[in-house]
């Protein structure tokens, strides 16, 4: 999936048209991707940068895109943020934003292919911003208009930059879950992760506290202290990394219930090595043996006595900082989870190669004497709880699906119990 949404950067400039910026961007996209007229597209370039993008290179771009995304079909919607416009575009195999940034003279100075960015509409009554430390989190609040159960679920994302729907390829697992909850009288709030909406706030000194934990706690406290939600039970749902960090979130969030969806109980670095090995085994074109060995070398260094806060990112897994890893090296979720007194629900897919049954079993064994902990295993579900068959692989995330109803029914039952 990462290759599909990898960044294509072309710095370009457009001669002045008596058009607004929306039209300028649309015309450029049409010229390049529909008409496939590279020569005409090249005339849009400012002379100062035209030499950096030869016509031959521009001509090959549509073909390269088609091999990964399929043919360009159409622009679904256009949003803007300051000088950047986001053309939400549909290709045969995927949907993403074509981001075009304009100069003060309405000339294009940036051209990117990026994951779709959600924009709240002015008349969207479900949009809700919540102050969290140095930023405002942008999110969606869903509340039933009738038969409300006075339960509110807060969603906490997996690793990496994630939007409020936890979009991956054609799939939006958080959106699926939130809408199912709504239909069962349960309110929910899901927000864009700060590394998605405000990446500038995350730096080499940041840890998972700044990335995930603090925002989840601040959102939970917002609803707990809001008169409109007086008497509500607050439930925190974490997926993948969000579930992994749940024992830390619970220390300050003090919610009524907690949901762990495919959360790793083992150290993150161990899980990453397993993932690299698995993907290399089933598809060496995605991850090479060299990359696997390099990851193992980085993990070995992380776990050695040589690792310290001055260790360079180049020697550490995923290029994350020493501060980030230092926090996780000391983190012991299996110990921390024992102190949680509220009911917990652990869900795991049997076709999940990212977080496996090995982790599910560790949680289960650790809490075998906890009568309020519920464990559900779904043999045919993958990491985002969509049903499938055969050998699991990253390719299936590119296929549109929906979160499994059996899991959703169990989830609702746990929340309402």
What CATH number is given to the structural domain containing 90? 3.10.450.590
User: What is the pLDDT at residue 215?
Assistant: 98
Q: Is the pLDDT of residue 146 over 70?
A: yes
- Same-domain check for residues 96 and 155: no
The structure's pTM equals: 0.80
- Same-domain check for residues 260 and 373: yes
What percent of the chain clears pLDDT 70, i.e. is strictly above it?
Answer: 94
In sequence order, which residues have a C-beta less than 8 Å from that of residue 237 and are 6 or more positions away? 153, 154, 155, 156, 177, 258, 259, 261
DSSP H/E element including 249:
helix 246-253
- Same-domain check for residues 63 and 201: no
User: What is the pLDDT at residue 14?
Assistant: 30
d(CA 159, CA 146): 35
User: What is the pLDDT at residue 259?
Assistant: 98
- Same-domain check for residues 211 and 143: yes
How many structural domains compose the chain?
2
Mean pLDDT of the chain: 90
- Same-domain check for residues 108 and 131: no
- Same-domain check for residues 172 and 90: no
Q: Is residue 351 part of a domain?
A: yes
User: What is the pLDDT at residue 9?
Assistant: 32
User: What is the pLDDT at residue 7?
Assistant: 35
- Same-domain check for residues 403 and 263: yes
Residue with tokens 């927000």: 191
In sequence order, which residues have a C-beta less than 8 Å from that of residue 106 and are 6 or more positions away? 14, 16, 17, 21, 24
User: What is the pLDDT at residue 18?
Assistant: 36
User: What is the pLDDT at residue 10?
Assistant: 32
User: What is the pLDDT at residue 19?
Assistant: 56
d(CA 187, CA 197): 23
Boundary of a domain, candidates 67, 91, 114: 114
Please, which pLDDT band fits residue 4 given cuts at 50, 70 and 90?
very low
Query: How far is C-alpha 380 from the chain's CA centre?
Result: 22
Q: Is the pLDDT of residue 49 over 80?
A: no
Q: Is residue 287 part of a domain?
A: no
- Span 148-160, pLDDT tens digits: 899 999 999 999 9
State the residue range of the domain holding 25: 21-114
């Amino acid at each position: 999936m990462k290759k599909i949404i990898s960044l294509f950067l072309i710095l370009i400039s457009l001669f002045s048209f008596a058009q607004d910026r929306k039209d300028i961007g649309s015309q450029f996209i049409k010229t390049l991707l529909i008409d496939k007229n590279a020569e005409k597209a090249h005339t849009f370039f400012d002379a100062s940068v035209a030499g950096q993008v030869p016509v031959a290179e521009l001509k090959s771009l549509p073909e390269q895109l088609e091999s990964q995304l399929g043919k360009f079909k159409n622009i679904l919607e256009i949003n803007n943020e300051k000088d950047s416009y986001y053309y939400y575009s549909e290709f045969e195999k995927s949907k993403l934003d074509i981001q075009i940034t304009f100069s003060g003279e309405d000339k294009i100075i940036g051209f990117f292919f990026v994951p779709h960015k959600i924009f709240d509409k002015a008349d969207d009554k479900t949009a809700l911003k919540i102050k969290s430390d140095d930023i405002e989190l942008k999110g969606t609040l869903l509340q039933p208009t009738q038969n409300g159960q006075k339960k509110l679920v807060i969603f906490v994302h997996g690793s990496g930059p994630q939007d409020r729907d936890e979009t991956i390829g054609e799939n939006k697992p958080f959106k699926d879950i939130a809408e199912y909850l709504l239909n069962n009288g349960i309110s929910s709030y899901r927000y864009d992760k700060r590394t998605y909406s405000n990446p500038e706030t995350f730096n080499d000194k940041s840890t998972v506290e700044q990335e995930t934990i603090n925002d989840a706690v601040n959102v939970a406290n917002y609803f707990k202290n809001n008169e409109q939600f007086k008497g509500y039970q607050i439930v925190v749902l974490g997926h993948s990394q969000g579930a992994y960090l749940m024992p830390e979130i619970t220390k300050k969030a003090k919610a009524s219930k907690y949901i762990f969806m495919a959360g790793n109980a083992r150290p993150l670095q161990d899980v990453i090595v397993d993932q690299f090995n698995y993907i290399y085994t089933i598809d060496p074109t995605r991850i090479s043996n060299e990359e696997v060995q390099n990851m193992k070398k980085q993990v070995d260094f992380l776990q050695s006595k040589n690792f310290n806060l001055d260790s360079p990112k180049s020697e550490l897994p995923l290029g994350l900082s020493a501060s980030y890893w230092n926090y996780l090296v000391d983190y012991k979720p299996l110990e921390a989870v024992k102190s949680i007194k509220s009911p917990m629900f652990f869900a795991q897919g049997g076709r999940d190669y990212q977080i496996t049954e090995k982790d599910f079993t560790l949680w289960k064994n650790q809490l075998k004497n906890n009568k309020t902990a519920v464990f559900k295993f779904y043999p045919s579900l993958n990491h985002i709880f969509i049903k499938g068959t055969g050998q699991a692989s990253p390719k299936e995330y590119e296929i549109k699906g929906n979160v499994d109803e059996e899991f959703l029914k169990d989830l609702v039952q746990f929340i309402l119990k």
